[in-house]
Structure 1
Amino acid sequence: MHLTMLLDMACDGFGDRVVVGRVSDGLTPADLRRRARAGAALLRSHRAEALLYVAVNGPAYPVAMFAAAFAGVPLVPVNYRLGEEQLDYLLSQHQNALVVTAPESVAHMGQLGLTALTTDEWLSGTDVDDDESDPEWTEAPAIIIYTSGTTSKPKGVLLRHENLVSYVLGSVEFAGAAQDDAALVSVPPYHIAAVANVLSNLFSGRRTLVLEQFTPQEWLGLVRDEQVTNALVVPTMLARIVGSDGDLSVPSLRNLAYGGAAMPTRIIETALSLWPEVGFVNAYGLTETSSTIAVLGPDDHRAALASDDPAVRARLGSTGRVLPTIDLEIRDPFDEVLPTGSVGRICVRGDQVSAEYAGIGRAVDERGFFDTRDKGYLDEDGYLFIGGRVDDTIIRGGENIAPAEIENVLLDHEDVDDCAVVGVADDEWGQRIEAAVVARPGRTIDPEQLRQHVRLHLRGSKTPDRIHVMDELPRTETGKLVRRRVVTAIAEAAEVVDA
């Protein structure tokens, strides 16, 4: 299986339909294939062993993805927001690469010995006649995505053609979109969701639009102006949209997918009430799994919201059911499979699961299962609940405490907009529980009253010893919390108080 197969199918099925950009000047599958072949020729002329993409999302991105596929080299989308030291480290891993980047970065790439083209130069250079060349079939991965590196140096996750094609074939209906369907994507190009959306929207025949610089007003305006039918956001974006002032109508929107981080129940309930005709989809996946492995669909959302059964209602906080192409087990620390309802490590297996790292190899056991390092459990009907990362567990006096449980209670408080619970070193208990919270606009937080709120819902040993009110929490562009920076911020706040 090869990514170019998906593009060939799109060309054969709806080659003249605009699938990238605005209707007025967007790209059809035929345009995309023509440009991809030209891009592959450019890569071969530079003897490039990889194509680095260090720029904002846009039409140049899918052209780059398929050009790399035709050339038989990996596409490496790199976080252009990184500091110079981190960015240079990643770039140094690909010395024999061609770079597509922003105009202001070209000179810096040259200083590193890399040949660079601006996104405009890349699009101009690939706008030539179709040479109808065949793709190169090599052992190179299709995509290399670097992990966020929030606790250590980033690792390159290798996604092979068969992983990505398996994901698409197992989760997307070919040509399933209508002629006028349009998807709005608001995630950066170096995130697995951006890769998955290029492939899945192309395969379904849905036109893709990108909003790189997100604001609620820009998002709402683009949805209405471009008659967007499908959209993808991260939880922090949805919270800002439903909490904004003005016209919140989205008459064309039929489906709204979210993922990348935990969604506060209060936010999704508000969104469901605000847009009852919209089908909400919660997708759970990892870079190592080529995107989504579990889905909570529109009917699941509506059933949970309408139910008086606490177990069904709780499913609003789940990630839904696992895809039929994925095997999933919940395991204890000794690798024994746990029964329904027991919390343990989420381990998965399937053709779309790469679990492969540059310089390391595949991180799977003898049965082919990948340990996601996420904690969770399955309810009696197979709904998957995520309980945070294994590494986030707080050990207080020998008791294992999941931050997510406490965070859910904090987020249910009417004054709390965002929160994080972490373990802080303590001589007596090993770790004590501390929380950082952000107040909702126009609200104030009394830390002691908030502690009492937690105590009402959880036992005393799970009540934070201290609660710190902050202006904002450190999160990545996709909404993931950077817990080590929360610990640092709490320590700095404590120093100020103790001084």
Structure 2
Amino acid sequence: MNIATLLDMSAEAFGDRVAVVSGDTRLTYAELKAAAQAAAQRIQASGASYVALLDVNSVAAPVAIFGAAYAGVPYVPLNYRLTPPEINELIARIAPALLITSAEPARIVEPRSDVVLIDRAAFLSLPAPAEPIEPPDDPRAVAVQLFTSGTTGKPKAAILRHENLMSYIVGTVEFAAADEDDAIVVTVPPYHIAGISAVLSSTYACRRMVQLEAFEASAWLAACREHRVSNAFLVPTMLQRIVDHLDASGGDAQLPALRALAYGGGKMPLATIQRAMALLPQVDFTNAYGLTETSSTIAVLGPDDHRAAASSDDPMVRRRLASVGKPGAVEIEIRDDEGRVLGPEQAGLVFVRGPQVSGEYLSLGSQLDADGWFPTKDRGYLDAEGYLYLDGRADDVIVRGGENISPGEIEDVLLEHPAVADVAVVAMPDVQWGEGVAAAVVLKPGAQAAADELQALVKSRLRSSRVPQRIVFKDALPYNELGKVLRRLIRQEFVDAQ
């Protein structure tokens, strides 16, 4: 089944319902389908092998997603925050392509005979086709190609086929589940899997999408109030900024319509989610853990789990607030470095399996093993009840004298200190042990804590090998736009300081 089927169903059932709001622009589901059909005609006429988007959030994103699907061409959103050479390298990798953009990002695109640029406004004003365009019925065809962040080399092109995305949407979303007044505010950029998921899941639910070009706490709150937003998705740093803004302004959120808030894309500090639940007691919180290669969410800590953990006196239940919940329509397995399956409470590498899991890269092919399992490159463990706890990326593990040390367990202890606002634990060069433990710490405004005080805290809770041998205090940690701490930059600082 082609993902364009999602729009076909919504346009037929609720054609007059508003599908997307972006600034002063509004499209109903019928208008969104008409725009996507017009886009498909232009895509087919171009002869392009890919449809690319180099732009911020706008109505062009959902139009391009579904237009590409109708035309039977992969959709490739590009990260407009990359450097000009990086962007042009990615464009070269998808030529021949039709590239949708706007004036500012278009200036950095190097002219190519095999790449046709079309301005966003022109793209949204294309004439309708004389006859409806039926999408190709090939579930194995590539629907979306997303370039990974490329932190350790050139970005890999992750492949998501129509069958992967449809498996995820149909397995997690009920058709037309949204009420007519329901709305979701979309702040994640269009080049992230969460941006793709927001369009597809909202369309299938027939929910109104309210787009923001960029995130800023006060603007987000204002949009929620103006559009009576009922649903939202945020990365941890976004939620932290909202919590800080509300605390600074008296704590009254004034969001009576907001009912559900999902978060993911990075580790959520326990203090942040606890404070958010106190500030927004009427909201159902959901922690969603997923990957690009798995078509988005694979595990969920739902609203009931949040409330049960927050109110429980049992430490084993309370700690679930720091988990990412239980698997949805996928299987999860924890393995050691030799591939042996581990039991409850045993930390290792996280593997997932299921029809929504692509695990495939262009040129590299499928990364699934013989039994269909995909290595997520995350480390973690399952408890006896099947809740998944993450320890971070496998690449983040500190190898000290042959002992694997997870930064996450050390960070959790340091964050318990009342003066600590944020922390990142990384490996640092060590002549004796190969790698040592280092920590970058951000203190709360006006708070104080000494390095030896924090080291003593870790020593009192964990083995001596986990104690950071060096702690530096910073005004802020480096994060990317999706709320993931840039550990490579922090590691480099400790290397440079040697």
**TM-score normalised by structure 1 residue count:** 0.95
**Residues 413, 210 of structure 1: alpha-carbon distance in 2 compared, 3 angstrom cutoff:** farther
Moved more, 351-360 or 241-250: 241-250
Counterpart residue number, 1:260:
265
Asked if 1:286 corresponds to 2:282, the answer is no
1:348-367 alignment runs, 5 A limit: 348-367=352-371
Counterpart amino acid of 2:364?
I
Counterpart residue number, 1:379:
383
Cα distance, 1:30 vs structure 2: 1.4
Indicate the SS of the match to 1:109: coil
Asked if 1:166 corresponds to 2:170, the answer is no
> Could you tell me whether the CA contact under 8 Å between 1:261 and 1:480 is conserved in 2?
yes
Counterpart residue number, 2:18:
18
**Residues 212, 490 of structure 1: alpha-carbon distance in 2 compared, 3 angstrom cutoff:** farther
Q: Separation in 1 of the partners of 2:41 and 2:393?
A: 43
Q: Separation in 2 of the partners of 1:169 and 1:472?
A: 41
Counterpart residue number, 1:118:
119
Indicate the SS of the match to 1:124: coil
Q: Separation in 2 of the partners of 1:160 and 1:52?
A: 16
Asked if 1:318 corresponds to 2:319, the answer is no
Indicate the SS of the match to 1:142: strand
Give the length in aligned residue pairs.
Answer: 492
**Residues 283, 134 of structure 1: alpha-carbon distance in 2 compared, 3 angstrom cutoff:** same
Q: Separation in 1 of the partners of 2:74 and 2:87?
A: 18
> Could you tell me whether the CA contact under 8 Å between 1:331 and 1:337 is conserved in 2?
yes
Moved more, 293-302 or 436-445: 436-445
Identity rate of aligned residues, in percent?
A: 47
Q: Unaligned 5+ residue runs, structure 1?
A: none
Indicate the SS of the match to 1:93: helix
Counterpart residue number, 1:333:
337
Q: Deviations over 1:182-207 (max 9, x none)?
A: 00121111100000010001101110
Moved more, 462-471 or 102-111: 102-111
Q: Deviations over 1:384-415 (max 9, x none)?
A: 11111112111112221100111111222222
Counterpart residue number, 1:70:
70
Indicate the SS of the match to 1:26: strand
Asked if 1:186 corresponds to 2:191, the answer is no
Q: Unaligned 5+ residue runs, structure 2?
A: none
Counterpart residue number, 1:151:
152
Q: Separation in 2 of the partners of 1:232 and 1:131?
A: 37
Indicate the SS of the match to 2:417: coil
Asked if 1:342 corresponds to 2:342, the answer is no
Cα distance, 1:490 vs structure 2: 2.4
Counterpart residue number, 1:485:
489
**Residues 205, 443 of structure 1: alpha-carbon distance in 2 compared, 3 angstrom cutoff:** same
Cα distance, 1:130 vs structure 2: 6.8
Asked if 1:433 corresponds to 2:457, the answer is no
> Could you tell me whether the CA contact under 8 Å between 1:34 and 1:132 is conserved in 2?
no
Counterpart residue number, 1:36:
36
Q: Deviations over 1:1-48 (max 9, x none)?
A: 111111111122212111211698521221111111110111112111
Q: Separation in 2 of the partners of 1:432 and 1:109?
A: 43
Asked if 1:177 corresponds to 2:144, the answer is no
Q: Separation in 1 of the partners of 2:415 and 2:317?
A: 20
Counterpart amino acid of 2:231?
N
Q: Separation in 1 of the partners of 2:338 and 2:373?
A: 14
Q: Deviations over 1:237-272 (max 9, x none)?
A: 111111112243321110000000000001001111
1:35-114 alignment runs, 5 A limit: 35-109=35-109, 111-113=111-113, 114=115
Q: Separation in 1 of the partners of 2:204 and 2:181?
A: 15
Q: Separation in 2 of the partners of 1:252 and 1:71?
A: 38
Indicate the SS of the match to 2:465: helix
Cα distance, 1:332 vs structure 2: 1.4
Q: Separation in 2 of the partners of 1:335 and 1:15?
A: 51
Asked if 1:242 corresponds to 2:248, the answer is no
Moved more, 114-123 or 128-137: 128-137
Q: Deviations over 1:209-257 (max 9, x none)?
A: 1223211111111111110000010000111111112243321110000
Cα distance, 1:491 vs structure 2: 2.8
Q: Separation in 1 of the partners of 2:429 and 2:462?
A: 22
> Could you tell me whether the CA contact under 8 Å between 2:22 and 2:58 is conserved in 1?
no
> Could you tell me whether the CA contact under 8 Å between 2:74 and 2:145 is conserved in 1?
yes
Cα distance, 1:132 vs structure 2: 1.5
> Could you tell me whether the CA contact under 8 Å between 2:186 and 2:233 is conserved in 1?
yes
Moved more, 465-474 or 137-146: 137-146
> Could you tell me whether the CA contact under 8 Å between 1:345 and 1:373 is conserved in 2?
yes
> Could you tell me whether the CA contact under 8 Å between 1:304 and 1:312 is conserved in 2?
yes
> Could you tell me whether the CA contact under 8 Å between 2:440 and 2:490 is conserved in 1?
yes
**Residues 475, 23 of structure 1: alpha-carbon distance in 2 compared, 3 angstrom cutoff:** closer
Q: Separation in 2 of the partners of 1:488 and 1:233?
A: 29
Counterpart amino acid of 2:42?
L
Asked if 1:402 corresponds to 2:403, the answer is no
> Could you tell me whether the CA contact under 8 Å between 1:230 and 1:256 is conserved in 2?
yes
Q: Separation in 2 of the partners of 1:110 and 1:486?
A: 33
